[in-house]
Structure 1
Amino acid sequence: MIDTTTPFTVRFARLPRRGLLLGLSASRVACIAIAALVLIPAMFVASTLGAIATAPIWGALVALAFVRRGGRPAIEALPTAAHFGLRRASGQTKWRARPAKPRPAGTLALPGDAAAMRFLVDEKSGTAVLHEPHAQSLTVAAVVSHPAYVLLAPEEQARRVHGWGRALAGLAHRGTGTRVQVLEISLPDAGRGITGWWDTHGVKSRDQWAVREYEALMKTAAPAASTHRTLVAISLDLRAARTHIRQSGRGLAGAVACLRQEMTSFEASLRAADLRLVSWLGEADLAATLRQAYEPGFDKERFVPCRLESAGPMAVDEEWDHLRHDNAHSAVLWISEWPRIDAPPFFLHALVFQPGIRKTISITAEPVPADEAIREIRKAKVEYATEAAQKARIGALADLSDSVEASDVLDRERALIAGHADIRFTGLIAVTAATGADLEAAVAEVSRAAIQSGCETRRLYGQQARAFVAAALPLARKVN
C-alpha cells in the first residue's frame, strides 16, 4: 500500500570523493610525493637557494595537484588533455562523410568509435537492432508517450514512480545486464500548431472576454513553446546474458530472440507504470532520429525512405569544449551532482521545460549485480574506515561530508539487504544551437535551470564527440 499522507520525495547520495590518502587521489598523492622528493634534498644541499632553484619543478607538481581545471584537479584532467592532443595531432578530431565511397552493408555512418556499430532488422517485429561488437551489446529504441506528470494527483504520482521503479528493478533482477537509456528531446517550436488550430476551429468573436484572453495568451506563450519527444533505448549485454541466449538459440539469432523477450517484458512493465510504448523504432524512424540529432533542420518527410547506412552527419569538427556538426554547434554537460535534499519526483521540471533551447536530456541506468554491489559496498566501508583512522592519527578534523557519504553507503547496503536492485545511473545534457555564440548563451541558461532543479552540471572537456553520441543518440551506450 502506497502511503499518500506525506509528500512523496526522493534524495540522491553524494558523489563519492574518496581517495588514496586523506581524500586525495593516487595521482595527486604521487605529485605531492615527487614534489617533496625534489624540494627536501634541494633544501638540505643548498638551503633556500636550492628551494628557489628547484621551484619550477616542485611548484609545477604542487599546482598540478591542487589547481582545478574544469572542476577537476589539473593532474586528473591531464590524461584527457593528452589524449585529445594526440587525437587532434593525428586528425581524429575531424570527420567527413564520403558519399562517393559506399560503406559496407549493415554498418552505421557515425564518427568515432560508434562507426564500429552494425545493424540488422528483426524480421518478426520490424525493429532496427544495433549491434556493437566491441561492447558485445544489442540495442533497440522505442517512442514512449506519457501524460503530464505534474498535473496528476500526489497519490497517482507516487503510484507511477513505484511502477517505473519496478520496471527498472525487473531489468536488474533478470540478470541479463540490460541497460536503459531515457532521452527527453526538447525542440523549440514557434507554436504554429496551437495558432493554426485556433485559426481553423477557434471562435472569432472579439467581443467575448475569453476569446480576447486566449488570443493574448497565445501571443505571449506560443513563440516560446517547445515540442517534446521521449525515447527509451534498452541494451542487452551479450556476455551477461549468454546463458539466456543459449536457451533461445546460439549466435546472433539467439541473441535477437533473447532481446525480443526483454522487449516484451519491458513493454509490459511500462504499462504497469501507465507509460504507453508507441512503437519500437524501425530502420527509417531510427535513421531519421540519428540524422536529426546532427542536422536540426532535417525533415524526414523529404527523405523517404531513410536508411541507416547514410544516417550519420556529413561533417564533424570536435573542439576542446564543443562540437561542430553539419549546420549546428553542440556542447555536452554532465550532471555531476543530483539533489542532496528531499525533492519531489518532478524536480527536473525547470530543466525539461525550459523554452527556446534545443536540448536532449539523457539518463542512462545500468543495473549492478547484487554480488558486485556488495563487493563495492564492502570496499567503500573499508576505505572510509581507513581514511577516518588516518585523519585521527595525524590529528586532522573529520569533515561532515565524510560521515554523510558513509551514511549513504549504509543506506545503499540496507536497500540491497531488503531486496531492492542497485542501479548505477548517469545524466548527460546535449545542448545544440545554430552558432557558437548562441550555444554559449544556451549552455549558460541550461546551467541556471539545472541549479533551479537542485542539480550541478559540469561541461565535459576533451571528449565532446564521444559524449555527444552517448547523450544525443538512442544507443544506450555505456558511459564511463
Structure 2
Amino acid sequence: MADSRTSGEFSLEPVRFSRLSRRGVLLSLSGLQLTSAGIAVAAFVGTLYSVGAEALPWTSPIWGGGLAITWARIAGRPVVEWIPLVITWVLRQAGGQTVFKAKISRPRPAGTLALPGDAARLRQYDDPESGAVMVHDPHHATLTVGCDLLHPSFVLLDPAEQERRIQGWGRVLSTACRSGRIARLQVLERTIPDGGTALVDWWREHGVHDGSWVARVYGELIEQAGPSGERHVSSIALALDMRRAAQAIRRSGGGIRGAAAVLRQEMRTVEAALRAADLHPSPWYDAGSLAVDLRSAYDPAIAPTLERHREIGRSLATAGPVAVTESWGSLRTDSAYHSVLWVSEWPQASVYPGFMSPVILAGGIRRTVSITYEPVRTDRAARELRKRKVEHISDAAQRARMGQIEDAADSAELQDVLQQEADLLSGHGVLRYTGLISVSAPTMDELEAAVAQIQQAAIQSSMETRLLVSQQGQAFAAASLPLARKV
C-alpha cells in the first residue's frame, strides 16, 4: 500500500492529552478531606464511647458537618477545600491587598517594574550585547526574556504543512527539555486593537498625495478604519532558572551579568529551533517594546494610540497600571475589566491539531490565550512517574481489599502514567503545562457576555474551563503578561 505522505492523501495524526490527576493522599481523598473526615470520625467515636449513643444527636453538628464538608461539592470542588480560599481572600481584603493605586508622587526605584501584587519585585536588566531587556525575579531566581513570533495562520495551511509545523514545534519543546536550565516556556496568542499602523504606512509609501478631494477622503478613511479592527499577535517568553544554571553563571562571571550570558545561550538555541520550525522570531523585546505590552494589557484603550505613536509609552517605569481593584472573580484595571479562566481539563479523547480554533478565532473579544510549559528534568520525571505508578497500584490493591469497584478514571490515569514512562524511556521530555485564558472588556456586562462566549468556545474545543476565584490578580499577570509567570 502506498504511503499517504507520498500519494498526496495526507492525513493528520490525532493527539491525546494526559488527564489531570485527581488522586489524593488516600483513596482519592485530599489532605484537607482526610483531616475533616478524621475529625468527624473522632467526634463520633469519642462521643459514642465516652458518653453513649444518646449524646450523638448533640454532637451531630461536629461529625455531621465534618462528613458533609468532606464529600459535598461546590462548583466541582469539595467544600472543605473552599475554606482556605475564603480565609485567604478575607485576610487579603482586610490587609488592603486587593486594591492597588500607583503612587505618582513617589516614583518607583530605578530598574523596577511598576506592576502590582507580587510582580512588584521584578527588576529589569538591559543586556548590552543582545539589546534585550531581561526581567529578573529575585524571589524565584529567574531571568526572563520574550519576543514576538511571525507565522501564517495555522488553520489555513494544508494538512501536510500543519503536520510538519507540529513536528517542528515538538522539537522546540524537546530543546527546552534537554536544556535543563529553562524554568518555564510561555506561549501567548492574544488579540489587540489594530491601530492601523500597517494601513497608514502603506498609504504613506504608496498613496498619491496630490491634495485632491479623493486623496483627502481616502486618507481620512484609512485613519478611521484602522483602529476599528483587531489583529492576532503571538509571542514567546523564556525564563532561565538561575538555581539550576548556578555553575554556568559562575563560569560566566557571576551575578546578573553571568546569568544574562547564560540566558543568551538559551536564546540562541531556542531561536534556532524556532526558525527550524518556520516560526520567525522578531528581535527580542527591548525596554520600550515590553513597556508597550505591559501598558496595553492593563490599559487596552490606549493600545491603538501606543501603536500609532511609537515614541510614547516606552518607559518601564510608567508601564504599570494606575489603579487595580481585584474582586472574587474579576479584576478591574485602568480602562477594562478582566477575568481569567483556567483550562482545568484538556480534551479527553483524541483530537486533531487546531482543536482550539473556536477559542482562538472567537471574533469581537479581546482575550489572551497563554500556555506555560515547565520542563521536568529526566531523573526527576522518572522518579515522579515511578512514584505515581506505585501509588496507583497500591490504591488499586487497597480498594480491592475493601471490596470497592475499580474506577475507570483511575485506570485511565494509570495508563497515562505508563504511556509517559514509555515516552520518557524513548527519549522524549516531560513537561507540565498550564493553560490560562484572560478575557477583557470595557464594562462588567460585556465581560460577562465575553466570558460566557469563551466558555462555549472552549466546550466546542472539547476543553473544560473554570474561573480562577480569589486569585485574579496573580492569574492575570500569568495569563496576559509575557513574563513567564506562574499561578
* 2:284 counterpart residue number: 280
Deviates more, 1:303-312 or 1:222-231: 222-231
**1:242 match:** 246
Question: How far has the Cα of 1:243 moved from its partner?
Answer: 2.3
Q: In the alignment, is the contact (CA less than 8 A) between 1:335 and 1:427 conserved in 2?
A: yes
Q: Is the counterpart of residue 324 in structure 1 residue 332 in structure 2?
A: yes
What's 1:138 paired with?
Answer: 143
Superimposed CA distance per residue, residues 76-113 of structure 1 (whole angstroms, 9 cap, x where no aligned partner): 22222211111110111111001110111000111111
- Pairwise CA distance, 1:193: 8.2
Q: Percent identity?
A: 47
Measured at CA, do residues 109 and 196 of structure 1 come closer, stay the same or move farther in structure 2, by a change above 3 Å?
Answer: closer
Q: Which of 264, 267, 273 in structure 2 is aligned with 1:263? A: 267
* Paired position in structure 1 for 2:103: 98
Over 3 Å counting, the alpha-carbon distance change for 1:223 and 1:90 in structure 2 is closer
**SS, match of residue 54 in structure 1:** helix
| Corresponding residue of 1:311 | 319
What residue in structure 2 maps to residue 61 of structure 1? Answer: 66
> Which residue matches 1:212?
none
Decide whether the 8 Å contact of 1:141 with 1:475 is kept in 2. yes
Structure 1 residue 67: deviation in Å?
A: 2.2
Q: Helix, strand or coil for the counterpart of 1:249?
A: coil
Partner residue of 1:28 out of 9, 27, 33: 33
Aligned to 1:207: none
CA distance in 1, matches of 2:135, 2:421: 35
Normalization by structure 2: what TM-score? Answer: 0.89
What's the counterpart of residue 209 of structure 1?
Answer: none
Q: Which moved more, 1:28-37 or 1:94-103?
A: 28-37
Separation in structure 2 between the aligned mates of residue 135 and residue 3 of structure 1, nearest angstrom: 48
Is 1:168 equivalent to 2:176 in the alignment? no
* Aligned match for 2:297, one of 289, 293, 307: 293
Unaligned stretches of 5+ residues in structure 2:
207-225
Which residue is equivalent to 2:380?
372
- In the alignment, which of 353, 356, 359 is matched to residue 348 of structure 1? 356
Q: Distance in 2 between matches of 1:406 and 1:468?
A: 33
CA distance in 1, matches of 2:485, 2:4: 36
After superposition, the Cα gap between the structure-2 partners of 1:350 and 1:196, relative to the gap in structure 1 and judged at 3 Å, is farther
- Measured against aligned partners, the alpha-carbon deviations of 1:115-146 in whole angstroms (never above 9, x if no partner) come to 00000211122211100000101101101111
Structure 1: give runs of 5+ residues left out of the alignment. 202-221
How far, CA to CA, are the matches of 1:45 and 1:224 in structure 2?
A: 75
CA RMSD, aligned part only?
A: 2.5
- 1:185-224 equivalences in 2 (<5 Å): 185-187=190-192
Count of aligned residue pairs for this structure pair: 458
Alpha-carbon deviation of 1:42?
Answer: 2.9
Contact 1:18 1:383 in 2 (8 A): no
Are 2:235 and 1:227 equivalent residues in the alignment?
Answer: no
Q: Do 1:139 and 1:234's aligned partners in 2 also have CA atoms closer than 8 Å?
A: yes
TM-score, normalisation: structure 1: 0.90
1:112 matched residue in structure 2: 117
8 Å contact from structure 2 (residues 11, 160) kept in 1: no
1:22 and 1:225 map into 2 onto residues whose CA distance is: 53
Instruction: Indicate yes or no: 2:159 matched with 1:151.
Output: no
**Structure 1 residues 33, 353: CA separation in 2 closer, same or farther (over 3 Å shift)?**
same
1:73 matched to 2:73? The reply is no
Name the aligned partner's letter for residue 253 of structure 2: G
Tell me the amino acid that sits aligned with residue 14 of structure 1: R
2:19 is equivalent to residue 7 of structure 1: no
Partner of 1:206: none
User: Is the contact made by 2:188 and 2:368 (CA closer than 8 Å) also made in structure 1?
Assistant: yes
